[in-house]
Amino acid sequence: MRQVFPAVSIALGKTLLVTAVAISPIFVNNAVNVFAPGVIEIGVVHAQVKAKNKYASAEQRKFPNVSESFGKKITEAANFLQPQDESVKPDPRKAMQLLNEMAANSAKANAYELVLLNQYTGYAHLGAENYTKAIESFNKMLAQSPNMPLATEASTIRIVGQLYSQLDNPKKALETLLKWTDYAESLKPEDSYMFSTLYYQLEDNNNALLNINEAVRAQEAAGKVPAESWYILQRGLYFDKEDYKSGLVVLEKLIKHYPKAQYWKQLSQVYRMMDRTNDALYALETCYLMDGLTTEKDLINLAYSFLEAEVPYKAVKVLKKGIYTDKNVEPTAKNLKLLADAYRLSQNAKESLVEYEKAAQKSTDGEMIIGLAQAYLANDKFKEASKWGRDALKKGGIKRVDHANITVAQAEFELKNFDEAIKFFKEAAKDARSSKLANQWVTFSEREQARLKALAQQ
């Protein structure tokens, strides 16, 4: 069974119990209205749950009067459950002792007295948080229908449904609460949310979505912001059916009303699925600025995203902070090389070389070594560039051998070792991707070699 934000939060020992006891039929007349919120119905296939109000025109019920002795005892039990003196704590145990004594002598009790006896026994079980026993008592009470006010019957059915939900029995909760739908005049947004969560737990996503949509619509129409959990459920249901366009609308509302880093991260993921690459990066960066990216995986992903977007200086900031300040990115050869590459692309050759040297100490991978060679070349350290470039070619495993050859060739050119430079440029020219550039360097190298020889002979 799927978990969901609780639609039925039963602080029954307090909120529900206090309300129920305070306005019990023992204290008011037959027109009592025992906190029955909107009640609902649902179709056989897929339908939004709606108010039914089946008993709107029903005649007022009549039932027996309560004897004076019974009234005194049930009032005493009620006072144990909800003391009139606020300094006195409720005592469900004493209430239950008294109610059990009354039950033992209930052979001559009339139907309405049995209703009240079972009702208050149910309240006592609620106070003791024994929800299974509470359901038993309330069902015994409901068995005395129609010997109770309609509002009392309705509210009790609702309580039973809520208790089933509290006991992780969404099927029984739904069945019971749909019976409750026969009594109510209107549907509140909270009720639609409650039904949505029950359908969701029963893996009926279609009805879950219909009802959460109504909950959100009604709440927004009233000028109120739906609870965060409502939007979360609505968003999840849209994403489950791969309706990312509608889910995105909900996610944007979450960000507007409940701005959290995690929602910006989710927004980035949705944008990527919709091929909105730039928006995805902006959302991910916002998440980062809200301290929402703390794992190495997330930070490395953000750095790569910055590099893809051609903003390497932002990648440098993320990686430098992660490796050296926050220390939530391990200084592995791979990560140090990534930082070095980001520095290089940011035209910071000096810092790039520093990171390449650190990375090379941790790995003898060909790609790592050629990166170091290129960093030496960018820093005018031509002997080192040639040495490490040759080592990389010997090591192998280089993605672009032509680039490695060009690196060595350019280093040798700067050292005026033209024969070596020409040799490596010609090797690079064998790759079609670099043939034009390499051949131009061959020609230039030959001319420069000839020019310098001519000067030497003068």
How confident is the model at residue 26, as a pLDDT?
A: 37
Q: Is residue 151 part of a domain?
A: yes
| Residues 193 and 232 occupy one common structural domain | no
**Helical (H) or strand (E) element with 233:** helix 228-240
Q: What are phi and psi of 84, to 5 degrees?
A: -70, -30
| Residues 248 and 215 occupy one common structural domain | no
Q: Is residue 17 part of a domain?
A: yes
Domain region containing 211: 1-221
| Residues 35 and 67 occupy one common structural domain | yes
| Residues 12 and 69 occupy one common structural domain | yes
**Helical (H) or strand (E) element with 251:** helix 244-257
Structure tokens at 291: 């301290």
| Residues 190 and 48 occupy one common structural domain | yes
Q: Is residue 241 part of a domain?
A: yes
Q: Are 141 and 148 in contact (CB under 8 A)?
A: yes
| Residues 250 and 171 occupy one common structural domain | no
| Residues 73 and 139 occupy one common structural domain | yes
As a dihedral over the C-alpha atoms of residue 234, residue 235, residue 236, residue 239, rounded to 10 degrees, the angle is 120
Residues whose CB is less than 8 angstroms from the CB of residue 286 and which lie 6 or more positions away in sequence, other chains included: 264
**Given 250, 267, 290, which residue is the final one in a domain?**
290
Residue pLDDT, tens place only, 314-337 = 999 999 999 999 999 999 999 999
Number of domains making up the chain: 2
How confident is the model at residue 41, as a pLDDT?
A: 32
**Given 206, 221, 236, which residue is the final one in a domain?**
221
| Residues 93 and 192 occupy one common structural domain | yes
Q: Are 25 and 177 in contact (CB under 8 A)?
A: no
> Which region holds residue 50: left if phi is over 0, alpha if psi is between -120 and 50, else beta?
beta
| Residues 29 and 171 occupy one common structural domain | yes
pTM of the model: 0.75
**Given 192, 221, 250, which residue is the final one in a domain?**
221
Q: Is residue 126 part of a domain?
A: yes
Structure tokens at 372: 């170091």
How confident is the model at residue 240, as a pLDDT?
A: 95
> Which region holds residue 77: left if phi is over 0, alpha if psi is between -120 and 50, else beta?
alpha
CATH number at residue 238: 1.25.40.10
Q: Is residue 200 part of a domain?
A: yes
Cis check: omega of the bond before 146, within 30 degrees of 0: yes
| Separation between Cα atoms, residue 250 and residue 238, nearest integer Å | 9
| Residues 265 and 153 occupy one common structural domain | no
The parts of the chain modelled with pLDDT lower than 70 are: 1-47, 51
Surface-to-core class of residue 107, CB atoms within 10 Å of its CB (0-12 exposed, 13-18 middle, 19+ buried): exposed
| Residues 155 and 66 occupy one common structural domain | yes
Residue pLDDT, tens place only, 233-272 = 999 999 999 999 999 999 999 999 999 999 999 999 999 9
| Residues 182 and 281 occupy one common structural domain | no
